Structure 1
Amino acid sequence: MVLTDKTIEDILNYLDQSITKLAKDTMNSSEFHMDEVALKEFLFTQYDIRLDNLLQSKDSNIHHLESNMKNKIIQKKQKLLEAILKEYKI
């Protein structure tokens, strides 16, 4: 399925909210004790997994996207994770 810019934007906005909540819950949980490297890797991995699941729900995957959409996803992911790491001083 070919995804529109609007659909990708909706997926990325949902993903931003999801990963931001995950980061907050992880930082506030006494069950998670991760160092900086482990937390970064955890958030990067979760972003990729959740993105793949959201794309699959639209009968697509990262390999079906045009390069400009892939670049948009990469940039948005980097900005989000930088903002999260800055907020929690990681």
Structure 2
Amino acid sequence: MPTAMIRNPELDYTDDLGASLDGAELVVLATEWPEYRQADPRALAGRSANPLLVDCRTTLDPEPWRATGWTIHQLGRPGK
């Protein structure tokens, strides 16, 4: 994050996953880092303005996310 802050100081940064979702219209997951892979969809439900998640790495089990109200799209995996 320090490098990103230097290159893009106009953006907001946070280490808190929940806070990063507050008011989001779209959530894009583009990493396989464990802290995102293991995120609890129940704890994150209701944080975003629109519970729409694009999992670019097909990292997440989509069913728990869908069960908590998220619409999840995963690249390379047919949607339901």
Bigger proportion of residues as strand: 2
Compute the TM-score of the two structures, normalised by the length of structure 2.
0.27
Compute the TM-score of the two structures, normalised by the length of structure 1.
0.25
More contact order relative to length (CA 8 Å, sep ≥ 6): 1
User: Rg larger in 1 or in 2?
Assistant: 1
